[in-house]
Amino acid sequence: MSSVTIKDIAKKLDIAPSTVSRALRDHPDVSKTTRNKVLQVANEMNYHPNTIAQSLKKGTSRIVGVLVPQVRHYFFAEIMAGIAEVAEESGYNVMICQSNEKYENEVKNVRTLIQQRIAGLLVSVSEFTKKCDHFNLVKNSGIPLVFFDRDCNGIHASKVIVDDYSGAFNAVEYLIESGYKRIAHLGGYENLTIARKRARGYKDALKKHNMPIDEELIMHSGLNEEDGAESFKKLYNRLEKKPDAIFAVTDPVAIGAYQVMKERGIKIPDDIALVGFSDNPDARLIDPPLTTVKQSPYDIGKNAMQLLLKQMQNKNSKIENKILKTELVIRESA
């Protein structure tokens, strides 16, 4: 069924389309009676304005594109909530695309959003993104661009991230000071900035306390529960001398490891202590509750949208990098 247009409403009321247009915009030239009739018929006919067509006509857009790796976890859902709040307060609509952690999907989504003539783009890259040429298409189209959580090397753009390095360093140092001697790391893919920074924080904490960096204790994989489960199995099975603590790159990875540990009867933290990164709600619900590095995804979203607004309002504004602090939340798993 074709969408209802202003002409359809005008035909039903036997008035000029221009009158309908003015009534929908609450123009003072239109009487209150006519305006109420137009709004009533528009509602009955399920009329929705064509925002893309309006953008083409005015040369402006009120749509902001948001590209996320996935929406299955609380983390990105909370980021999108922060983005939506600021966007709506500023009169913008949000168009969300999901790459499902696939580089090819990310490239397609970027091209689609450019075609939609968005006013600006917020991006968190997939875990397999190594080339960033598609974001140059955004910049060359004159569309303001801001990265959040995960950025892309080589692209000069504003970003909002957390202090991944310090968060990881503090978590591992806490484990060391608690007496743990063989601390393993279930990390993310090394092309991801967040994974590299958290791995560096892990290693530097060991160095500070004159503990050896044993590459056998480090596994690189994805960022979800299934990745954590598989990484822990491989790590545990190949080591003759088992780790006494694990620092995981994300809470989902930690929870994946937790599930395998429970299945195998490994006691947490008596046999192996466990620390994650994010402080997702699930971290508080497992038994024992997960020690983790807290970050605020809602604040990441708000700050990213605020940065984008600034750039949309002034395309000559300077590139800004916002780094949000983290907090170590100590619970019974460590």
Query: Measured between alpha carbons, how far is 126 from 103 in angstroms, rounded to an integer?
Result: 6
Per-residue tokens: 278: 């994010």
**Structure pTM?**
0.81
**Rounded distance, CA 299 to CA 311, Å?**
18
β-pairing, 327-329 with 63-68? unpaired
What's 6-49's CATH class? mainly alpha
| Cα distances (Å, whole numbers) of residue 225 to 19, 77, 100, 252, 328 | 57, 17, 15, 5, 21
CATH fold of 61-161+297-323, please? Rossmann fold (3.40.50)
- The confidence score (pLDDT) of residue 16 equals 87
Tallying the residues shown for the chain, one arrives at 334
Note the pLDDT of residue 285. 95
pLDDT given at position 60: 58
Name the CATH topology of 164-295: Rossmann fold (3.40.50)
* pLDDT attached to residue 7: 87
Please, where in the chain does CATH 1.10.260.40 lie?
6-49
Residue ranges of the chain assigned to CATH 3.40.50.2300: 61-161+297-323, 164-295
**Residue spans of alpha helices (H) in the chain:** 6-13, 17-24, 32-44, 51-58, 74-89, 103-115, 133-140, 164-177, 193-208, 225-238, 251-263, 281-285, 297-313
pLDDT per residue as tens, the chain (334 positions)? 357 888 889 899 999 888 888 888 777 778 989 989 998 998 888 887 665 555 545 555 789 999 999 988 889 999 999 999 999 999 999 999 999 999 999 999 999 999 888 999 999 999 999 999 999 999 998 999 999 999 998 899 999 999 999 999 999 999 999 999 999 999 999 999 999 999 999 999 999 999 999 999 999 999 999 999 999 999 999 999 999 999 999 999 999 999 999 999 999 999 999 999 999 999 999 999 999 999 999 999 999 999 999 999 987 889 999 999 999 999 999 9
Predicted local confidence at residue 49, as pLDDT: 64
